């Protein structure tokens, strides 16, 4: 597994707990790699790591894309809604229900004030403004709205980073869209491709292929060192009688 993760054969041999130093460790590690079962296991784990790497990369790109495309208005928004006079009868003050009106009327009676005006029932907070309203002139009133984050899904869930209660109230935390855009651009630009997941997968496959080639060369090199090539030795035998005659001629 260590070799499949990118470790050198000798380093993986030592990390696995085997003894040996220098040439001995290198020789033993290479011998193990020549074992067919070991080599198949390395290939298997490399394929598994490649699949996991590709899946993780696809997930990362998908999450970054969701953050970039998410609409913050799905989490929090400032909107214009109707005022109390927008949809009341004759544009008089509209009440939610009779209980609300009765409570206001009772309070006015206790205060010695006239009964409040009655523009009907059924006021809804988030209704749109009435463009013909004489009170708000169709502008309505401003309202800050925060979504129920337990119901978020899709891109909005990826954008949501939590909530906190501060001195100004509840604050919705969002992922940094600018940072997500930069990171996504970096991935999409890898290798000059516009399809990051596919391009990075191709690059990883090519890297694994080169590692396998290098591993095979290391094995072949060790095999050559363990089996030295024969060296030709030429021995010339000279006839002693011929040599003696040559010496006599030289002395003369």
* Residue 250 falls inside a structural domain: no
Global pTM? 0.49
Residues 167 and 108 in one domain: yes
* Radius of gyration for the chain, computed over Cα atoms and rounded to the nearest angstrom: 42
Structural domain harbouring 99 = 72-177
Tell me what pLDDT residue 59 has: 79
Q: Which of 177, 200, 224 is the last residue of a domain?
A: 177
- Total domains, the chain: 2
Tell me what pLDDT residue 62 has: 84
Burial class (CB in 10 A: 0-12, 13-18, 19+), 88: buried
- Summarised one tens digit per residue, pLDDT across range 74-83 is 999 999 999 9
Average pLDDT, consecutive stretches of 10 residues, N- to C-terminus, the chain (252 residues):
49 55 58 59 59 65 89 93 97 96 96 95 96 96 92 90 89 92 81 51 70 70 56 48 50 50
Tell me what pLDDT residue 214 has: 73
* Residue 95 falls inside a structural domain: yes
- Summarised one tens digit per residue, pLDDT across range 191-221 is 444 455 555 666 667 777 777 777 777 666 6
Residues 48 and 142 in one domain: no
19: phi then psi, degrees, rounded to nearest 5:
-95, 155
């Amino acid at each position: 597994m260590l070799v499949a993760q990118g470790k050198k054969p000798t380093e993986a041999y030592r990390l696995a707990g085997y003894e040996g130093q220098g040439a001995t460790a290198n020789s033993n590690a290479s011998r193990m790699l020549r074992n067919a079962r070991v080599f198949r296991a390395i290939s298997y784990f490399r394929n598994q790591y490649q699949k996991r790497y590709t899946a993780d990369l696809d997930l990362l790109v998908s999450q970054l894309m969701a953050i970039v495309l998410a609409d913050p208005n799905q989490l929090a928004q400032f909107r214009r809604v109707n005022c109390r006079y927008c949809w009341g009868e004759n544009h008089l003050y509209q009440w939610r229900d009779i209980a609300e009106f009765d409570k206001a009327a009772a309070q006015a009676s206790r205060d010695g004030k006239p009964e409040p005006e009655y523009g009907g029932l059924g006021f809804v907070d988030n209704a749109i403004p009435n463009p013909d309203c004489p009170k708000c002139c169709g502008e309505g009133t401003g309202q800050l709205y925060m979504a129920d984050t337990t119901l978020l899904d899709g891109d909005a869930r990826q954008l949501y980073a939590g909530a906190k209660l501060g001195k100004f109230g509840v604050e919705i935390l969002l992922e940094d869209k600018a940072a997500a855009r930069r990171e996504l651009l970096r991935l999409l630009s890898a290798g000059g491709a516009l399809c990051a997941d596919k391009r990075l997968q191709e690059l990883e496959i090519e890297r694994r292929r080169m590692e396998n080639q290098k591993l095979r060369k290391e094995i072949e090199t060790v095999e050559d060192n363990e089996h030295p090539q024969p060296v030709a030795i030429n021995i010339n035998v000279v006839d002693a009688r011929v040599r003696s005659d040559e010496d006599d001629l030289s002395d003369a």
